């Protein structure tokens, strides 16, 4: 019987090429350097990063460092990829990261037509409490709205001189002016904490966000004489696979993913249809065993629903042995999902009550 | 003997093509609509504009309107084109324009490497008092620094969605990201006064700045449902011709123009070398008369040094009659220049003392 290799399942192998092509650092090479890595790092869900050496060194030596993430207040639901980001923020916060959470209200206004007022309400009523419900410590966090942060916008302005249109195109593909402003503002966000204090910092993101990190790092190199920023580090997590097995969940196909929050009925229906690693017949599956490495339900466990390695291993073993069949497994997963969602709702309500503790900065 | 035709000298005729090509409105068609037009408008130095009907109507009906101009704190001298702008601002202020003057400190930082601090000092110590010395009424003016105006930068962000990269290229030629940010911020500046009050407004600029007006007007049309701004109007003035007769003075050729302020010695040397409309020999000139319409000194009189139409006419007539020769004329012009510069310096000193009256807004 195979052991789960947390550092090398089939899905992770798909990412080794990304690591090579984009010159990223594999997380597995740094696991011993990070104090008490979390399950996402150990399982290779957070599979790589940039500047991991500087980051882990600062953490080990208990030097000041920061962690930054953003809220795009475009709807009233978040997806499981955001949960992964917040798990990482939580990990860094527990290791004393100075934490910054920005609300990208300008970006949601420019790109989604959401008014600044509406964005603010959504952030206050849903996103910030949701982040707290997912593990963000509000007492150790500084929040700001892009629209109220003049310094970030000034940075965007100053950075605009440092990169040509062709370089933009090579990082982002075809560009629209709004994308240029948005990307430069994100570079401003990423480096804003260093206006007060020069220090290493980490931006935990999905791998699809790596162009922003690349831009910010390029800009740091080109503004050495003016700003002398530390190069920002990043951790990259895998795409949340869609339930139908395509590489990345897509908002245009709402059946392909479960949101946070989501009603039981609809979550249940989607999970029932999920692609698994089952065989053609029950008999065959009992004989040959299932293929958890190809199973979207198992991936949900691994990424989001089961932190306990032993439990995960047990499911893996039972599946491989042909003892746990897909129907039963989906029922179990659904139970875990319900319980996660219920827990989230309770925590969301509690988080809303902490509103007075939230610290906002303007500049 | 010819009469000066203030609405149609040779130099103005060069601009009729611009008017046609760019769909501008000739100032001469609106002279009767504007209350008490100043000498720049009557002489066709301010030769055209956009939205002149709406602007003149608001002025005649004494409806609220605004006038906006900017300071680019890139050096410690200004050129005579800026004097023309301030003459127009003064004209509009005297007709009750709500007046806004922004300091483009972000732009000078991004494009000229001038720190925000240095830009602020230059604005406070030189540019703002210089504008006042040239006729700006500080009691009726609202000043702001781009770096301190979050609303302008937010507008730039929102506007970025409304224009494609190709449209940018068609307005500005080849574009750099910094140019995109700068242009969108200028559109934000132009429309900022309307965030508080929707009203017509005018931006007096040199014709080389017309792309910014075009962009702002395009954006107004495309943000009708969100903002419902009035289309901004503009007045366009001719290039200040360089003393050597090329079409526009150039900073790369400092001998081609006199600055404000400038020392007598250096101003005198430059004016001595100026291109005039003189003939090959004194005899010929006495016989045929001079050609003031081709004379850079005469253009200086017309644009900047002589407001009195009768005095200007007298010089024109004496030149045409061969009575006033170029040497004498240059000496006279130099006297006027010295007197202008001395007067400016005195007014600058006095303006510096009004610092406490200057009203700055932040947002």
- pLDDT single digits (tens) B132-156: 999 999 999 999 999 999 999 999 9
What are phi and psi for residue B295, nearest 5 degrees? -105, 125
pLDDT recorded at residue B286? 94
A231 and A268 together in one domain = no
Parallel, antiparallel, or unpaired for β A201-206 and B25-26?
unpaired
B176/A164 touch (CB, cutoff 8 Å), yes or no: yes
Q: Which of B242, B263, B285 is the last residue of a domain?
A: B242
In b/e form, how buried is each residue of A71-94, taking b as 16+ CB within 10 angstroms? bbbbeeebbbbbbbbbbbbbbbbe
As a whole number of angstroms, the distance between CA A68 and CA A193 comes to 8
**Per residue in A221-237, pLDDT tens?**
999 999 999 999 999 99
A181/B180 touch (CB, cutoff 8 Å), yes or no: yes
Closest CA to B333 of B353, B310, B315: B315
Q: Chain B: nearest CA to A157, how far in angstroms? A: 6
| Residues of chain B with C-beta less than 8 angstroms from the C-beta of A111 | 161
Could you tell me the CATH number of the domain that includes residue B59? 3.40.50.620
As a whole number of angstroms, the distance between CA B195 and CA B361 comes to 13
Q: Are A136 and A348 in contact (CB under 8 A)?
A: no
As a whole number of angstroms, the distance between CA B77 and CA B260 comes to 6
Q: Chain B: nearest CA to A182, how far in angstroms? A: 8
At residue B198, the 3 state secondary structure works out as coil
Instruction: Please give the share of chain A, as a percent, with pLDDT higher than 90.
Output: 79
As a whole number of angstroms, the distance between CA A79 and CA B318 comes to 83
Q: Chain B: nearest CA to A213, how far in angstroms? A: 18
B48 and B188 together in one domain = yes
In sequence order, the 6+-apart residues with CB closer than 8 A to the CB of A173 are none
B327 and B210 together in one domain = no
pLDDT band, very low/low/confident/very high, at A248 (cuts 50, 70, 90)? low
pLDDT recorded at residue A18? 80
Among the ranges given (A15-19, A51-55, A314-318, B95-99), the one the predictor scored with the smallest mean pLDDT:
A15-19
As a whole number of angstroms, the distance between CA A47 and CA B22 comes to 56
As a whole number of angstroms, the distance between CA B154 and CA A182 comes to 11
For an interface test with B, the pick among A154, A164, A183, A187 (most B C-beta atoms closer than 10 Å) comes out as A154
B182/A168 touch (CB, cutoff 8 Å), yes or no: no
Q: Which of B221, B242, B263 is the last residue of a domain?
A: B242
Q: Residue A86 pLDDT more than 90?
A: yes
Nearest by CB: B110 against A161, A164, A176? A161
Q: CB B122: neighbour CB atoms within 10 A?
A: 21
Q: Which domain holds residue A166?
A: 10-239
- Bridge partner list, A234: A50, A203
Question: B24 in a domain, yes or no?
Answer: yes
Q: Residue A1 pLDDT more than 80?
A: no
* Alpha carbon of residue A323 to chain centroid: 33
In sequence order, the 6+-apart residues with CB closer than 8 A to the CB of B107 are A157, B72, B146, B182, B185
Which of the 8 DSSP states describes residue A73? -
Give the DSSP letter string of A291-330. -GGG-HHHHHIIIII---HHHHHHHHHHHHTT-S-HHHHH
As to burial, measured by CB atoms within 10 angstroms (0-12 exposed, 13-18 middle, 19+ buried), residue B173 is exposed
- Bridge partner list, B203: B234
A123 and A226 together in one domain = yes
B152 and B217 together in one domain = yes
| Residues of chain A with C-beta less than 8 angstroms from the C-beta of B154 | 106, 116, 147, 153
> Looking only at Cα atoms, what is the longest distance across chain A?
69
pLDDT band, very low/low/confident/very high, at A252 (cuts 50, 70, 90)? low
- The mean per-residue pLDDT over the stretch A48-56 comes to 97
CB contact residues (below 8 A), chain A span 87-116, against chain B: 106-107, 109-111, 116
Q: Which two tokens stand for residue A241?
A: 């696979």
- Number of domains composing chain A: 2
pLDDT band, very low/low/confident/very high, at B112 (cuts 50, 70, 90)? confident
Any A CB within 8 A of B195 CB = no
B160/A181 touch (CB, cutoff 8 Å), yes or no: yes
pLDDT recorded at residue B1? 31
pLDDT band, very low/low/confident/very high, at A245 (cuts 50, 70, 90)? confident
Where would I find the beta strands (DSSP E) of chain B?
25-26, 46-50, 66-71, 78-79, 98-103, 141-145, 201-206, 233-237, 259-260, 359-360
Q: CB B149: neighbour CB atoms within 10 A?
A: 23
Q: Residue B326 pLDDT more than 80?
A: yes
Could you give the C-alpha distances from B228 to A316, B231, B277, in angstroms and in order? 61, 9, 51
**Per residue in B331-359, pLDDT tens?**
999 999 999 999 999 999 999 999 999 99
Nearest by CB: A147 against B109, B148, B154? B154
Question: A127 in a domain, yes or no?
Answer: yes
Instruction: Give, rounded to a whole angstrom, the gap between the first and last alpha carbons of chain B.
Output: 59
Q: Are B30 and B53 in contact (CB under 8 A)?
A: yes
Q: What is the pTM of this model?
A: 0.87
Q: Are A278 and A285 in contact (CB under 8 A)?
A: yes
Q: Which two tokens stand for residue A272?
A: 């029932």
Closest CA to B137 of B99, B186, B171, B170: B99
B220 and B162 together in one domain = yes
A198 and A324 together in one domain = no
Angle subtended at Cα A86 by Cα A84 and Cα A92, rounded to the nearest 5 degrees: 110
Parallel, antiparallel, or unpaired for β B233-237 and B46-50?
antiparallel
In b/e form, how buried is each residue of A193-216, taking b as 16+ CB within 10 angstroms? bbeeeebbbbbbbbbebbbbbbbb
Q: Are B203 and B52 in contact (CB under 8 A)?
A: no
- The mean per-residue pLDDT over the stretch A197-203 comes to 98
Which of the 8 DSSP states describes residue B238? P
Among the ranges given (A151-160, A163-172, A331-340, B10-19), the one the predictor scored with the smallest mean pLDDT:
B10-19
pLDDT recorded at residue B173? 82
As a whole number of angstroms, the distance between CA A312 and CA A321 comes to 14
Nearest by CB: B156 against A161, A163, A181? A181
- Bridge partner list, A201: A66
Closest CA to A43 of A68, A15, A19: A15
Closest CA to A67 of A40, A32, A94: A94
As a whole number of angstroms, the distance between CA B68 and CA B70 comes to 7
As a whole number of angstroms, the distance between CA A312 and CA A295 comes to 13
**Per residue in A123-154, pLDDT tens?**
999 999 999 999 999 999 999 999 999 999 99
Closest CA to A219 of A193, A183, A170: A183
A146 and A170 together in one domain = yes
As a whole number of angstroms, the distance between CA A58 and CA B129 comes to 50
B317 and B203 together in one domain = no
Q: Chain A: nearest CA to B172, how far in angstroms? A: 13
Average pLDDT of every residue of chain A: 91
Q: Chain B: nearest CA to A146, how far in angstroms? A: 9
Nearest by CB: A178 against B149, B160, B178? B160
B196 and B154 together in one domain = yes
Closest CA to A356 of A168, A128, A175: A128
Q: For residues B286, B291, B296 and B302, what is the CA-based torsion angle, rounded to 10 degrees?
A: 110
Q: Are A298 and A315 in contact (CB under 8 A)?
A: yes
Any A CB within 8 A of B168 CB = yes
Question: B129 in a domain, yes or no?
Answer: yes
- The mean per-residue pLDDT over the stretch A44-67 comes to 97
Q: Are A233 and A50 in contact (CB under 8 A)?
A: yes
pLDDT band, very low/low/confident/very high, at B239 (cuts 50, 70, 90)? confident
Q: Which of B199, B218, B242 is the last residue of a domain?
A: B242
**Per residue in B152-197, pLDDT tens?**
999 999 999 999 999 999 888 878 999 999 999 999 999 999 999 9
A264 and A163 together in one domain = no
Question: A249 in a domain, yes or no?
Answer: no
Q: For residues A272, A278, A281 and A287, what is the CA-based torsion angle, rounded to 10 degrees?
A: -140
Instruction: Give, rounded to a whole angstrom, the gap between the first and last alpha carbons of chain A.
Output: 59
Q: Residue B3 pLDDT more than 50?
A: no
As a whole number of angstroms, the distance between CA B4 and CA B6 comes to 6
- The mean per-residue pLDDT over the stretch A296-320 comes to 95
pLDDT recorded at residue B257? 87
Q: Chain B: nearest CA to A225, how far in angstroms? A: 12
pLDDT recorded at residue A12? 46
Q: Residue A9 pLDDT more than 70?
A: no
Question: B247 in a domain, yes or no?
Answer: no
Question: B359 in a domain, yes or no?
Answer: no
Angle between helices A105-112 and B150-159 (to 10 degrees): 30
B205 and B305 together in one domain = no
pLDDT recorded at residue A4? 36
> Looking only at Cα atoms, what is the longest distance across chain B?
69
Question: A359 in a domain, yes or no?
Answer: no
pLDDT band, very low/low/confident/very high, at A75 (cuts 50, 70, 90)? confident
Could you tell me the CATH number of the domain that includes residue A275? 1.10.240.10
Q: CB A5: neighbour CB atoms within 10 A?
A: 11
Which of the 8 DSSP states describes residue A275? -
As a whole number of angstroms, the distance between CA B333 and CA B297 comes to 7
Q: Which two tokens stand for residue A187?
A: 């570079």
pLDDT band, very low/low/confident/very high, at B2 (cuts 50, 70, 90)? very low
ipTM of the complex: 0.83
Among the ranges given (A111-115, A208-212, B77-81, B242-246), the one the predictor scored with the smallest mean pLDDT:
B242-246
| Residues of chain A with C-beta less than 8 angstroms from the C-beta of B181 | 156-157, 160, 180-181, 184
The secondary structure element, H or E, covering residue A28 is none
Q: Bigger pLDDT: B12 or B283?
A: B283
Q: Are A46 and A84 in contact (CB under 8 A)?
A: yes
Q: Is the dihedral of CA B201, B205, B207, B212 positive or negative?
A: negative
Q: Residue A51 pLDDT more than 60?
A: yes
For an interface test with A, the pick among B160, B166, B171, B227 (most A C-beta atoms closer than 10 Å) comes out as B160
- The mean per-residue pLDDT over the stretch A320-333 comes to 95
Q: Chain A: nearest CA to B325, how far in angstroms? A: 51
Q: Bigger pLDDT: A10 or B92?
A: B92
Question: A27 in a domain, yes or no?
Answer: yes
């Amino acid at each position: 019987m195979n052991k789960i290799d947390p550092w090398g399942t089939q899905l992770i192998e798909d990412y080794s090429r990304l690591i090579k092509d984009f010159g990223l650092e594999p997380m597995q090479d740094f696991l011993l350097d990070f104090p008490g890595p979390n399950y996402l790092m150990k399982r290779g869900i957070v599979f790589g990063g940039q500047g991991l050496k500087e980051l882990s060194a600062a953490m080990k030596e208990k030097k000041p460092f920061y962690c930054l993430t953003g809220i795009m207040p475009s709807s009233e639901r978040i997806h499981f990829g955001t949960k992964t980001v917040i798990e990482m923020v939580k990990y860094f916060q527990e290791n004393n990261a100075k934490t910054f959470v920005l609300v990208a209200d300008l970006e949601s206004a420019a790109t989604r037509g959401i008014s600044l007022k509406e964005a603010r309400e959504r952030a206050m009523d849903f996103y910030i409490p949701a982040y707290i419900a997912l593990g963000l410590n509000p007492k150790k966090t500084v929040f700001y709205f892009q629209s109220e942060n003049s310094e970030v916008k000034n940075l965007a302005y100053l950075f605009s001189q440092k990169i040509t249109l062709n370089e933009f195109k090579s990082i982002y593909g075809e560009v629209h002016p709004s994308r240029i402003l948005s990307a430069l503002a994100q570079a401003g966000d990423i480096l804003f904490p260093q206006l007060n204090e020069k220090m290493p910092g980490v931006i935990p993101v999905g791998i699809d966000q790596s162009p922003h990190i690349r831009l910010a790092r390029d800009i740091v190199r080109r503004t050495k004489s003016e700003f002398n920023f530390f190069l920002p580090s990043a951790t990259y997590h895998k795409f949340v696979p869609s339930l139908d097995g395509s590489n990345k969940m897509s908002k245009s196909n709402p059946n392909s993913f479960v949101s946070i929050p989501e009603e039981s009925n609809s979550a249940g229906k989607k999970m029932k249809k999920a692609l698994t690693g089952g065989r053609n017949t029950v008999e065959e599956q009992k004989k040959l065993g299932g293929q958890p490495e190809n199973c979207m339900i198992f991936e949900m466990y691994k990424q989001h629903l089961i932190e306990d390695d032993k439990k995960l291993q047990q499911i893996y073993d039972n599946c491989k042995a042909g003892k746990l069949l897909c129907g039963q497994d989906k029922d179990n997963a659904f139970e875990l999902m319900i319980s996660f969602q219920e827990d989230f709702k309770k925590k969301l309500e509690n988080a809303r009550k902490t509103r007075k503790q939230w610290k906002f900065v303007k500049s």
